[in-house]
C-alpha cells in the first residue's frame, strides 16, 4: 500500500508562505510528478511529505494514517535526492544496505534485499566499489537501490536526474519507468523538466506560487489546460498566446495555439509574416515568425524544412486546436 492524502497543507518560513493550502490525493501505485517553475514550492512540498520540513498546518495521511507529527524514519517513505547523498567511504553494497542495518535487520535479510535490488538495477558488478569509482548514472542507481531495499510505502524523488548529462537522463528515466512497472509502487517525483513529467507520470500536479494550478494526466494537461499558466508551462516549444481581439474573438481575451498546430506555406495562408530565426533540429524545424496579425509566433514543423531568415511565408493555425481563455486567464470550455 502507498496512498497519500494531503489536506490544507500550508508551510511558511517567517512571513513568507511557501505552500498555500495544498489538497491532493495520490492513489496506491500511482506515479505522480510535481512540476512548476523554480520557487513554486514543489521541493518544499516533497520535504513536508517526507517529514524533513514540518507543515505549518494541515493533514498528511499515508495509507490512512496521520503522519504530520511522525518522524521521517517512521513514515514508511524513502527519498532519492539529486545529490545522491551516498557515503563516500562505504561500498555500493554497504550504502544500499545501511538503512536496513541501522534498523537492526538481520544480516541475511540485508544480503538478500541488496542482492535483489542490485540485480534489478544492473549493479551486481559494482557492489564492492565506492561512489568515487562510479559514473553519475551509476551513483544515482545506487541511491535508488538504497530506497528499494527499504520497501517503503512511498518513493519520493527530488529532481533525481538534474545532475546527469542528456544521454544519461534518458537512460535513467527509462530505468525509473521500468522500475515503477516492476515494483507497482507509489512514486512521487519532483522535476522542472516537463519532458520527464510527460513521459513518466500517471498524473501531473502543476504548482505555481505555492498553489496547485491543475492536476491531471499528461495528455489531459496538454489538450485541456485549465488556464494560461498551465497552457504555457506544458508543451515545448511553449504555446503561442495571441490577443483575442486581433483574431476577431470578442469573448476570449487570449487565444492559445501550440507551435505544432500551425502549418506554413510560401503561397497563401491566414497570417502573413517574415521569418526571424530558424532552428534546424533534424527531426523538427522550429521557425520564429513575425506576423502582421498575430505578432511573434513559434511554429514547430516535423522534419527538415528549408526556411531561412527574412523569408516571407504564410501561417495557418488548426482552428480545432485553438485554446480560448477569458479575462481571468481561465480556459473557456463552452
Distance CA 280, CA 276 (A): 13
Last residue of a domain, one of 164, 199, 230: 230
State pLDDT tens for residues 221-261.
Answer: 999 999 999 999 999 899 999 999 999 898 999 999 999 99
Q: How large is the C-alpha radius of gyration of the chain? A: 24
Q: Do 122 and 197 belong together in one domain?
A: yes
State pLDDT tens for residues 133-182.
Answer: 998 888 888 988 888 888 888 999 998 888 778 887 888 888 889 889 88
193 part of a folded domain: yes
Q: What is the pLDDT of residue 224?
A: 96
Mean pLDDT over each residue of the chain, to the nearest integer: 92
Q: Do 165 and 99 belong together in one domain?
A: yes
Q: Do 213 and 248 belong together in one domain?
A: no
Q: What is the pLDDT of residue 153?
A: 86
332 part of a folded domain: no
Tell me the average pLDDT across 76-95: 88
Q: What is the pLDDT of residue 278?
A: 97
Distance CA 111, CA 113 (A): 6
Q: Do 209 and 285 belong together in one domain?
A: no
pLDDT at 82 over 80: no
Q: Do 107 and 248 belong together in one domain?
A: no
Distance CA 68, CA 3 (A): 15
3-state secondary structure of 291: strand
Are 123 and 145 in contact by the 8 Å Cβ rule? The answer is yes
Q: What is the pLDDT of residue 27?
A: 95
pLDDT at 70 over 70: yes
Q: What is the pLDDT of residue 16?
A: 93
Q: Do 140 and 283 belong together in one domain?
A: no
Q: Do 111 and 22 belong together in one domain?
A: yes
Q: Do 154 and 250 belong together in one domain?
A: no
The segment with the largest mean pLDDT, out of 78-92, 189-203, 318-332, is 318-332
pLDDT at 84 over 80: no
65 part of a folded domain: yes
Distance CA 250, CA 1 (A): 51
Distance CA 25, CA 17 (A): 22
Lowest model confidence (mean pLDDT) among 74-83, 126-135, 199-208, 212-221: 74-83
Instruction: Note the Cα 233 to chain centre separation in Å.
Output: 11
Q: What is the DSSP string of 212-277?
A: EEEEE-HHHHHHS-SBHHHHHHSSSSPPEEEEGGGGT-SS-SEEEE-GGGEEEESS--SEEEEEEE
pLDDT at 31 over 80: yes
Last residue of a domain, one of 165, 198, 230: 230
150 part of a folded domain: yes
Distance CA 136, CA 164 (A): 6
Lowest model confidence (mean pLDDT) among 16-30, 186-200, 212-226: 186-200
3-state secondary structure of 187: strand
At 1, the pLDDT band (50, 70, 90 cuts) reads low
Strand partners, 150: none
Q: Do 174 and 315 belong together in one domain?
A: no
Number of domains the chain is built from: 2
Distance CA 323, CA 227 (A): 10
The closest of 164, 142, 169 to 84, measured between CA atoms, is: 142
Tally DSSP H helices, then E strands, for the chain.
8, 18
Q: Do 172 and 301 belong together in one domain?
A: no
CATH number at residue 279: 2.40.50.140
Q: What is the pLDDT of residue 14?
A: 92
The grid coordinates of residue 69 equal 507529527
Domain residues for the domain of 297 are 241-325
The grid coordinates of residue 43 equal 521541493
Are 315 and 297 in contact by the 8 Å Cβ rule? The answer is yes
236 part of a folded domain: no
302 part of a folded domain: yes
294 part of a folded domain: yes
The grid coordinates of residue 146 equal 538504497
pTM of the predicted model as reported, rounded to 2 decimal places: 0.89
Q: Do 175 and 279 belong together in one domain?
A: no
Q: Do 201 and 260 belong together in one domain?
A: no
Q: What is the pLDDT of residue 83?
A: 78
330 part of a folded domain: no
Tell me the average pLDDT across 65-92: 88
Last residue of a domain, one of 207, 230, 253: 230
The closest of 218, 308, 249, 292 to 31, measured between CA atoms, is: 218
Are 200 and 189 in contact by the 8 Å Cβ rule? The answer is yes
At 7, the pLDDT band (50, 70, 90 cuts) reads very high
> In this prediction, what percent of the chain has a pLDDT beyond 70?
99
CATH number at residue 106: 3.40.50.300
Q: What is the pLDDT of residue 334?
A: 67
Amino acid at each position: 500500500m502507498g496512498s497519500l492524502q494531503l489536506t490544507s497543507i500550508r508551510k511558511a518560513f517567517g512571513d513568507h508562505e511557501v505552500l498555500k493550502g495544498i489538497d491532493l490525493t495520490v492513489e496506491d501505485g500511482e506515479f505522480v510528478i510535481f512540476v512548476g517553475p523554480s520557487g513554486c514550492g514543489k521541493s518544499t512540498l516533497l520535504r513536508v511529505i517526507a517529514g524533513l520540513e514540518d507543515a505549518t498546518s494541515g493533514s498528511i495521511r499515508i495509507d490512512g494514517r496521520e503522519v504530520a507529527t511522525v518522524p521521517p524514519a517512521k513514515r514508511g517513505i524513502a527519498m532519492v535526492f539529486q545529490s545522491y547523498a551516498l557515503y563516500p567511504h562505504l561500498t555500493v553494497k554497504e550504502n544500499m544496505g545501511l538503512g536496513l542495518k541501522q534498523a537492526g535487520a538481520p544480516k541475511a535479510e540485508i544480503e538478500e534485499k541488496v542482492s535483489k535490488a542490485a540485480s534489478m538495477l544492473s549493479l551486481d558488478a559494482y557492489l564492492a566499489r565506492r561512489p568515487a569509482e562510479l559514473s553519475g548514472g551509476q551513483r544515482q542507481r545506487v541511491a535508488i537501490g538504497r530506497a528499494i531495499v527499504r520497501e517503503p510505502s512511498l518513493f519520493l524523488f527530488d529532481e533525481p536526474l538534474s545532475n546527469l548529462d542528456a544521454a544519461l537522463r534518458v537512460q535513467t528515466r527509462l530505468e525509473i519507468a521500468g522500475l515503477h512497472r516492476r515494483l507497482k509502487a507509489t512514486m512521487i517525483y519532483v522535476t522542472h523538466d516537463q519532458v520527464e513529467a510527460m513521459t513518466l507520470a500517471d498524473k501531473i500536479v502543476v504548482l505555481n506560487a505555492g498553489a496547485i494550478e491543475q492536476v491531471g494526466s499528461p495528455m489531459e494537461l496538454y489538450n485541456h489546460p485549465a488556464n494560461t499558466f498551465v497552457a504555457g508551462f506544458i508543451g515545448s516549444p511553449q504555446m503561442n498566446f495571441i490577443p483575442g481581439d486581433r483574431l476577431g474573438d470578442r469573448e476570449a481575451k487570449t487565444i492559445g495555439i501550440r507551435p505544432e498546430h500551425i502549418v506554413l506555406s510560401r503561397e497563401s495562408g491566414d497570417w502573413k509574416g517574415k521569418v526571424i530565426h530558424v532552428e534546424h533540429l533534424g527531426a523538427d524545424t522550429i521557425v520564429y515568425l513575425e506576423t502582421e496579425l498575430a505578432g511573434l509566433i513559434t511554429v514547430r514543423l516535423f522534419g527538415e524544412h528549408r526556411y531561412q531568415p527574412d523569408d516571407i511565408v504564410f501561417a495557418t493555425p488548426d482552428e480545432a486546436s485553438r485554446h480560448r481563455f477569458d479575462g481571468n486567464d481561465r480556459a473557456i470550455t463552452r
